Amino acid sequence: MEWDKIWAINKNIVDAAAARYTVLLSKGLVPFTLAGAPAEPFAQAIACHPKDESLGKKIRHFAPTVYLQADDAATMGADEEITLMSWGNAIVRSVTRDASGAVVALAGELNLAGSVKSTKKKVTWLAKTDELVSVELLDFDFLLAKDKVEEEDAIENVLTAVTKFSDAALGEGALRQLKRGDVVQVERRGFYICDAPYVRAEDPIRLFFVPDGKNMMGVKRA
């Protein structure tokens, strides 16, 4: 059986039992300042899995400024309504760019009365608070560069040059509750297994990507 089929079967198994968390790549995070949000950060207990309350709850933090992934922010325009997943809608009112044209800041307002069905963009976010934790996302490629190794193949020609990829990220504070071996879903990225749980602030939580039959890695590579 091909590995992609095994991974697809595995995905169906872990999907039902994997708690959902938000993790964003550290590079290029864009602050989004929200009018209409409470002036001070606050916390709320929400379900770890949207379809299975038996998996318990986690503490989600909210704040008047949230971080968005750079590639999400780059697609947004003034007066566009988006959905902040697990919170509600917001309207982007202004977009600030640097000299190169990259989006470096957004400002807007919450619109919690807006319909999530009406928006095209549902984005993950992190509240700008001290509760954020450092995360290392690790992807692994195939060791062999070809499907079938022939007897005459030189070993240096069949090994993949780089098979390990590491990305620095930030995650929601609830990730502190993970134990080694826990499988979670990083929303809009895929499934990960915890290799190193939270110990201290200077040591990132280490997560290994679990292929799902379609995606070999959680972070898109050039």
- The answer to whether residues 91 and 80 touch, using CB atoms and an 8 Å cutoff, is yes
Whether the Cβ atoms of residue 125 and residue 64 lie closer than 8 Å to each other: no
**DSSP line for 2-56:** -HHHHHHHHHHHHHTTPEEE-EEESTT-EEEEEETS-SS-EEEEEESSTT-GGG-
pLDDT for position 164: 97
- Does 217 map to a domain? no
pLDDT value, residue 147: 82
In a domain? residue 219: no
* Averaged pLDDT, 33-57: 94
Number of domains within the chain = 1
With respect to residue 17, please indicate whether it lies within any of the assigned structural domains.
yes
Question: Does a structural domain hold residue 157?
Answer: yes
Domain that holds residue 90: 3-210
User: What local confidence, expressed as pLDDT, does residue 151 receive?
Assistant: 87
15 within domain boundaries: yes
110 in any annotated domain: yes
Q: What is the mean pLDDT of the segment spanning 17-32?
A: 96
What pLDDT, on a 0 to 100 scale, did the predictor assign at position 146? 85
Give the tens place of pLDDT for each residue, 79-112. Answer: 999 999 999 999 999 999 999 999 999 999 999 9
pLDDT for position 71 = 94
pLDDT (tens digit, 9 = 90+) per residue, 149-169?
888 888 888 999 999 999 999
Q: Is residue 218 domain-resident?
A: no
CATH number at residue 79: 2.40.240.10
